[in-house]
Amino acid sequence: MARERLYLFDTTLRDGAQTNGVDFTLNDKLTIAGLLDDLGIDYVEGGYPGANPTDTELFGKPRLLDTTFTAFGMTRRPGRSASNDPGLAALLDAKADAICFVAKSWDYHVRVALETTLEENLASIRDSVRAAKQKGREVLLDCEHFFDGYKANPEFALACAKAAYAEGARWVVLCDTNGGTLPHEVAAIVTEVCKVIPGDHVGIHAHNDTEQAVANSLAAVRAGARQIQGTLNGLGERCGNANLVSIIPTLKLKPEFAKKFEVGVSDAKLKELLHVSRALDEMLNRAPNRHAPYVGESAFATKAGIHASAIMKEPKTYEHVPPETVGNRRKLMVSDQAGRSNVLAELDRIGLKVDRNDPRIATLLDVVKEREAIGYAYEAADASFDLLARRTLGKVPSYFDVVQFDVNVEQRYNAVGERVTVSMAVVKVKVGDETLISAGEGSGPVHALDVALRKDLGKYQRYINGLELTDYRVRILDAGTEAVTRVLIESQDETGEHWTTVGVSPNIIDASFQALMDSIVYKLIKAGATA
Ligand SMILES: [Zn+2]
């Protein structure tokens, strides 16, 4: 049986840009559009030309994308003609393949927010769709507050949708703007809409205010809708939009959808999903959500020993889909609860060839347990475990020695009379016969130490030039008689690989220093540096 086409519409650059603290530059937008295009997303909504300089510029230049690049904007204002509305004119002039209009479909909003009549709202929809069609654009209409509007006045909500469809809009998109609608309501209402508008012209735009945006999108598809709108990583104001990074693999890997529908994302591109998700986090300078479905660090991580031994025999026992399909990997965490199977699997993954009966494996397991008892967390710090395993098996070159370091914190007035706190660090490192002394300044002592440590490592410098710290987490633990500090540092290099290291000490600088050192040494090993 031929599969039906299901279309994906990304609004990371428009609705996602409404997120607190998110401010895309023109370059960011072009980069994300390129990633989405490459992934195989059918529609990429770039922004709101005329509303801000970035979006106006974005739509002012031609792009080389296969996706249907879409401009967003309002239908003509009430009481004006389509030809006498500067906002609409800017939208029609934008270099876009498609135009997505937003219009009210809740009678209450038409009267209270727009202060106009229901008939004028319908006329505005008809006129705007017609004007865009005349310009040769594909047209979409976002029906704002559709589900709330439908509950209040189904005739009017449907009339808005029908008005756009009758004028030739390719898609009528039902928006759960407040995000409060539940899946069974979405299913019931979309079913009704699909009785008057063919489902292959109906889209769903769900917000995540009850954490059901993904469920609502899937419910809409089951009820007949054939376009899903969402964002990467569920970015969006308040609780976010429907998360395409969760929706895409569900559509492709779950038989209910995979048997019935075809999407623009190929199996090969699906393997890049994790990369695309992380690229957005990086751009926003956010730590990736470890517990994100499919692409999170923990999505395929197993801790308990008994589960791990079952997974080694048959991954399906604890995995709902194969992690490689989305570019993720199985992770058997090494911790004090871990059995031999976890440790063996981890050694295998990092490429350390050890005989299964090697007594050093028991030693390694004991060391992990001892160190976890005093606060180390190897399940979270894969790179530190890697080093610990190599050290226990006697395989870490002695690259360099930090002979001495000194960190200070100073509070003083700066040149313009503001009270500032600055830190400076001096590090003395021995590389071979060479002694190197570097100083670094930073906003805090750990930052300064990091800057100084990575400033000059002599012959190893070229290996660590692309090294970057992407996350720093501190926790105070109550370990027996005294409180200790655990520091987890996440690093990244020029290849985009991430790793985490750990340090533990009663002193936060010392704990940070251990984690920094592990990160550098791990990078040197990974790069194949020799002592
Ligand atoms: Zn929205």
**What pLDDT digit, counting tens, does each position of 193-245 carry?**
999 999 999 999 999 999 999 999 999 999 999 999 999 999 999 999 999 99
Pairing assessment for the beta strands 468-479 and 4-5 based on DSSP bridges:
unpaired
Q: Among 263-272, 300-309, 328-337, which range has the highest average pLDDT? A: 263-272
CA of 205 to the centre of ligand 1 (A): 7
Give me ligand 1 centre to Cα 127, in Å. Answer: 23
Residue 179 contacts by C-beta under 8 Å, 6 or more apart in sequence? 206, 207, 208, 209, 210, 213, 238, 239
pLDDT confidence of residue 113 = 87
Burial bucket for residue 27 (CB in 10 Å: 0-12, 13-18, 19+)? exposed
Please tell me the total number of residues recorded for the chain in this structure.
531
* Four-residue CA torsion sign, 386, 390, 395, 397: positive
Residue 83 in tokens: 């030809």
How many angstroms does the Cα of residue 220 sit away from the middle of ligand 1?
Answer: 16
Distance of CA 75 from the midpoint of ligand 1 (Å): 16
SS3 sequence of 259-327: CCEECCCCHHHHCCHHHHHHHHHHHCCCCCCCCCCCCCCCCCEECCHHHHHHHHHCHHHCCCCCHHHHC
What is the SS3 assignment for 67-133? CEEEEEEECCCCCCCHHHCHHHHHHHHCCCCEEEEEEECCHHHHHHCCCCCHHHHHHHHHHHHHHHH
d(CA 14, ligand 1 centre) in Å: 9
Distance from residue 27's CA to the centre of ligand 1 (Å): 23
pLDDT tens digit sequence for 56-73: 999 998 788 999 999 999
List 498's β-bridge partners, or say none.
492
Q: State in Å: Cα 11 to ligand 1 middle.
A: 8
Mean confidence (pLDDT) of the chain: 92
The Å distance, Cα 277 to ligand 1 centre, comes to 20
Given a cut of 70, is residue 479 above it in pLDDT?
no
Q: What is the pLDDT of residues 334-375, one digit of tens each?
A: 665 567 777 888 888 888 888 888 888 888 988 888 888 888
Beta carbons of 453 and 515 less than 8 angstroms apart: no
Residue 305's pLDDT band, with cuts at 50, 70 and 90, is low
pTM: 0.76
